[in-house]
């Protein structure tokens, strides 16, 4: 089995590998699945700021992963897209935003989304991203005093003091998105 992943980022690819290990315990067809990462640009903005943008970004990345596999002479059984962003809620007197991780899985005929949860973004961080246009990864590096947070624990890790990291949030999203495929009896 070949799983085409619409990203080459470490936390996303690792989430796919971990999920496939878990899935193999309940659906033996996933045992030994090969993960093939592709640099897939989904057409979503660099920092999605709505649920719709995250859903479309994940779907687009999965589709591009499948297409990239075919272009490279391989046929993937599944395409996986993972997209994180902020679901911005414009409220008075100030905006609220929720960091979310979404996954989309497709076999080329059907597909499903899954969510990895949400954590509220502090107002100062939200303002930096929404009002000043600073990329979330840059804002998180500045907030934490570290470099490359995106490629390790991500904003999730900083916001939850390490209790949930970027990989873990994508794992949950991906397990949920794969549900119709590994639990087909329930999803008829």
**The pLDDT value given to residue 44:** 58
Report mean pLDDT in 10-residue bins for the chain, 188 residues. 94 95 94 94 74 95 95 95 94 89 97 96 91 85 80 83 90 97 91
Query: Mean pLDDT of all residues in the chain?
Result: 91
Asked if residues 86 and 98 have their Cβ atoms less than 8 Å apart, the reply is: yes
DSSP character for 180? H
* CA atoms of 26 and 62, how far apart (whole Å): 23
* CA atoms of 43 and 146, how far apart (whole Å): 29
Strands 2-5 and 34-37: parallel
**pTM assigned to the model:** 0.91
Beta strands in 34-159 (DSSP E): 34-37, 78-89, 96-106, 111-120
Strands 78-89 and 34-37: unpaired
* CA atoms of 93 and 96, how far apart (whole Å): 10
Secondary structure of residue 80 in the 3-state scheme: strand
Nearest to 149 by CA among 135, 170, 132: 135
**The pLDDT value given to residue 42:** 53
Asked if residues 119 and 159 have their Cβ atoms less than 8 Å apart, the reply is: yes
Domains and CATH numbers, the chain: 2-182 (3.90.950.10)
Strands 78-89 and 96-106: antiparallel
């Amino acid at each position: 089995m070949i799983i085409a992943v619409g990203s080459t980022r470490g936390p996303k690819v690792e989430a796919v590998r971990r999920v496939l290990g878990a899935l193999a315990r309940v659906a033996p067809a996933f045992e030994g699945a090969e993960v093939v990462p592709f640099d897939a640009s989904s057409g979503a903005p660099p920092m999605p700021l709505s649920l719709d943008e995250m859903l479309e970004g994940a779907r687009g990345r999965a589709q591009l992963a499948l297409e990239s596999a075919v272009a490279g002479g391989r046929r993937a059984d599944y395409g996986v897209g993972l997209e994180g962003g902020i679901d911005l809620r414009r409220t008075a007197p100030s905006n609220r935003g929720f960091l979310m991780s979404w996954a989309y899985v497709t076999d080329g005929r059907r597909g499903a989304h899954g969510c990895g949860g949400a954590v509220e973004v502090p107002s100062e961080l939200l303002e930096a991203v929404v009002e000043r246009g600073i990329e979330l990864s840059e804002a998180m590096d500045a907030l934490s005093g570290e470099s490359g947070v995106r490629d390790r624990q991500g904003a999730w890790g900083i916001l939850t003091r390490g209790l949930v990291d970027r990989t873990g949030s994508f794992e949950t999203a991906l397990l949920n998105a794969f549900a119709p495929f590994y639990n087909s009896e329930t999803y008829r």
